Chain A
Amino acid sequence: SAVISQKPSRDICQRGTSLTIQCQVDSQVTMMFWYRQQPGQSLTLIATANQGSEATYESGFVIDKFPISRPNLTFSTLTVSNLSPEDSSIYLCSVSEPQETQYFGPGTRLLVL
């Protein structure tokens, strides 16, 4: 199984600022995903980030708001830009090999004031 860490684990940010979340995996993985979990809600996929290619965004999510980097097979960052209170959520990193078990990080809890 993959062990995933995320930094920061939580943060409180002012509106209009940005937050960059880091995701580190203890082994090389092909697929990395970023999810958002709004309070009391299920998980919504933001984008898929495969190394060596541009991130693929789901409907309703755009690169200007959620830029993603995937510089190598063990690391990715998600930036949430121009923060508003509606961005207050848990952001989860997830990894998988094609058709293998998908593992999740512990999440980053963001509160925007």
Chain B
Amino acid sequence: GNSVTQMEGPVTLSEEAFLTINCTYTATGYPSLFWYVQYPGEGLQLLLKATKADDKGSNKGFEATYRKETTSFHLEKGSVQVSDSAVYFCALRLNSGYSTLTFGKGTMLLVSP
């Protein structure tokens, strides 16, 4: 089956620190990969995505590269801000028909001033 594994949280960082949130996946086919972010009290927002191997998704200073050889899609940011405090979800979706998202468990990020 399809599954997504994320690093356990919370991840606690000081402002301007470097962020990495690990994500690995297993899939029965060829997936697209996504990072969604959930700010406190809100729904999910798409942060970035990559649809094929070696693609790099980027948005708001966040980046993630689709690594087929390691089945990974790690999220990185060079300098986090307090406003980045949120829960981050890695997800996959098979590139076929009416497929839906499979989510990881989410990783909470807490950034202190």
A residues 54-113 in Cβ contact with B at 8 Å: 92, 94, 96, 98-99, 101-107
Q: How large is the interface on A (under 10, 10 to 19, 20 to 34, 35 or more residues)?
A: 20 to 34
| A4 neighbours in B (Cβ, 8 Å) | 43
| B43 neighbours in A (Cβ, 8 Å) | 4, 92, 104-107
Q: Is the CB of A42 within 8 A of B44?
A: no
Q: In this assembly, does A31 line the interface, its C-beta being within 8 Å of a C-beta of chain B?
A: yes
Q: A42-B104, A42-B105, A45-B100 are in contact. Are A101 and B49 (CB under 8 A)?
A: yes
| B97 neighbours in A (Cβ, 8 Å) | 98-99
* Interface size of B in residues (CB-CB distance below 8 Å): 19
Q: In this assembly, does B45 line the interface, its C-beta being within 8 Å of a C-beta of chain A?
A: yes
Q: In this assembly, does B73 line the interface, its C-beta being within 8 Å of a C-beta of chain A?
A: no
Q: Is the CB of B46 within 8 A of A101?
A: yes
